[in-house]
Structure 1
């Protein structure tokens, strides 16, 4: 399915464009944000490569991921969300919001839109999220979405040269629609 545009309460999710590199660098180039992601801080070249890859993969048929830019009401790019299709009717959810926009409910809006899209448009059965144990804000987001804690993934993410555990949460379609 291409292109995808999802409109939430405060945030619109849309396909990335090649001109999103500078705005994306404010997110993936920030140590404060990337401390919670599965990759280290990016420089301009790495950000360009990331966006070029996202734009190219959006054209794949079938799609293996939905990596969408999150924009605020003023159309400013403030984050992103990703659904990585990870198996039979399942996806892994990820999201990030620019640090200066934290605490405004954007992450919850973004995550809710992606889970709704996963179940209502893609017909998936399960969505999971792996979160760093110290990321209390993201843990609060998945709790708001009704995701259930499943366990700890030991040494799950290599970031800044160190292995980090992740806490695994998930929601099933019948729990989402209840």
Structure 2
């Protein structure tokens, strides 16, 4: 079982008893702004939780979608690191509105960058987000990622097209700011 503790939060594998809180987080209209209708459906939270739990049991493990938990035990959201190909991983974070602008996303992504670069030995971590999701882009830049590319009108949901932005950081770039 994966568990990463920081002084601010706990990242741990999901459990079935997280379902109610996870469904509540994902049902918020602001949370759903940059998700497709399919990804915003009420049953999607249960489907995702099942996937996250199954991934936590895989060996070798390549996907770490972890619950972000407050000191009070409240589920704040999820943050994930996924090995996409040898040496390359993607990262993503989703938090309930209550924890926006609290630093929680930064604490979680910092912890996962350390985990990915130090524990898993990946060489590059990237994130892909809807280009209009300025908060996600700002978060990625705050952890040292740089914009690599933008794909114009490459997604279609909610009756419109969306562009996506890819940001990334290499291990050597991260190490320059995190001497051990």
TM above 0.5, yes or no, is yes
Q: Which residue of the partner structure matches residue 42 of structure 1? A: 41
Q: Which residue of the partner structure matches residue 170 of structure 1? A: 168
The offset of 1:156, in angstroms, is: 4.1
Question: Taking structure 1 as reference, are residues 40 and 31 closer, same or farther at Cα in structure 2, changes over 3 Å only?
Answer: farther
Task: Tell me, yes or no, if the aligned pair for 1:156 and 1:163 is still in contact at 8 Å.
Answer: yes
In 1, the alpha carbon distance for the partners of 2:155 and 2:63 equals 19
For the aligned residues, what is the CA RMSD? 1.6
Task: Tell me, yes or no, if the aligned pair for 1:9 and 1:109 is still in contact at 8 Å.
Answer: no
In 1, the alpha carbon distance for the partners of 2:35 and 2:9 equals 20
Q: Which residue of the partner structure matches residue 158 of structure 2? A: 160
Counterparts of 1:100-119 in structure 2, within 5 Å, are: 100-119=98-117
Please state if 1:33 is matched with 2:31: yes
5+ residue gaps, structure 2, are none
1:127 aligned residue (116, 125, 128): 125
Question: Taking structure 1 as reference, are residues 158 and 95 closer, same or farther at Cα in structure 2, changes over 3 Å only?
Answer: farther
The offset of 1:162, in angstroms, is: 3.7
Task: Tell me, yes or no, if the aligned pair for 1:25 and 1:42 is still in contact at 8 Å.
Answer: no
Question: Taking structure 1 as reference, are residues 83 and 108 closer, same or farther at Cα in structure 2, changes over 3 Å only?
Answer: same
TM-score, with structure 2 as normaliser: 0.90
Paired positions, count:
175
Q: Which residue of the partner structure matches residue 95 of structure 1? A: 93
In 2, the alpha carbon distance for the partners of 1:17 and 1:84 equals 19
5+ residue gaps, structure 1, are none
1:14 aligned residue (12, 15, 19): 12
The offset of 1:97, in angstroms, is: 0.7
TM-score, with structure 1 as normaliser: 0.91
Give the structure with the higher percent helix: 2
Does the residue aligned with 1:40 lie in a helix, a strand or coil? Answer: helix
2:70 aligned residue (69, 72, 76): 72
In 1, the alpha carbon distance for the partners of 2:69 and 2:101 equals 16
